[in-house]
Amino acid sequence: MASDTPWLTAHEEHVWRAWLTLNARVNAALHRELQDDADLSMPDFEVLVHLTDDPDGRVRVTDLARLLLWERSRLSHHVTRMERRGLVERVECPEDARGAFVAVTPAGRSAIGHAAPGHVRAVRRLVFDGLTGEEVDGFGSTVDKLLARMTDTAGPAGASDAGTCA
């Protein structure tokens, strides 16, 4: 390893490793939870969260990709698979024939409705229970600060902002 690189301090190294490990464990636990409860993967769940957040239950492909921080091609493949399972469907966009919506189906709503309570319980149990209000606050503001600093530094493509179809 090159000798002129400022290395992480022992404490930082520890924090960094702990962060990586914590993430892996949280993801694994939530994955199992969703799988057992509703036969959904985490990506499935994320997609459904954003679709059901919309009043009309449908979001333009590019917008959804931006919300998810995914590449459009990944989303397209994923939608194809979820469509095959009846969880979502593609809907043509009247105002722009190039575009398309992804829309939740009743089955999709049912699936996330079935999954959400257990998922929320798991997030609570894994992340928030046992932390003091002070800790949650400090944790949150630190995460926010980190996030704010990199908002325009990373992430695949900062696409347009067309909330509606046009």
Partner DNA sequence: AAAGATTGATATCTCAATCTTT
Partner DNA sequence: AAAGATTGAGATATCAATCTTT
Query: Where along the sequence are the contacts to a second copy (CB under 8 A)?
Result: 1-2, 5-8, 11-12, 14-16, 18-19, 21-26, 28-29, 69, 112-113, 116-117, 120-121, 123-124, 126-128, 130-131, 135-140, 142-147, 149-150, 153-156
DSSP conformation class of 9: P
Whether the Cβ atoms of residue 86 and residue 47 lie closer than 8 Å to each other: no
Q: Least CB distance from residue 130 to DNA, whole Å?
A: 27
3-state helix vs strand vs coil in the chain, percent to 5: 60, 10, 30
Pairing between β-strand 58-60 and β-strand 100-104 as defined by DSSP bridges: antiparallel
- If contact means CB under 5 to 8 A according to the sort of partner, which of a second copy, DNA, none does residue 25 touch? a second copy
- If contact means CB under 5 to 8 A according to the sort of partner, which of a second copy, DNA, none does residue 120 touch? a second copy
**Of 35 and 90, which has the nearer Cβ to a second copy?**
35
DSSP string, 69-102: T--HHHHHHHHHHHHHTTSEEEEE-SS-TT-EEE
Could you list the residues that contact DNA (CB under 7 A)? 35, 41, 43, 60-63, 70-81, 90, 93, 96-101, 159-160, 162
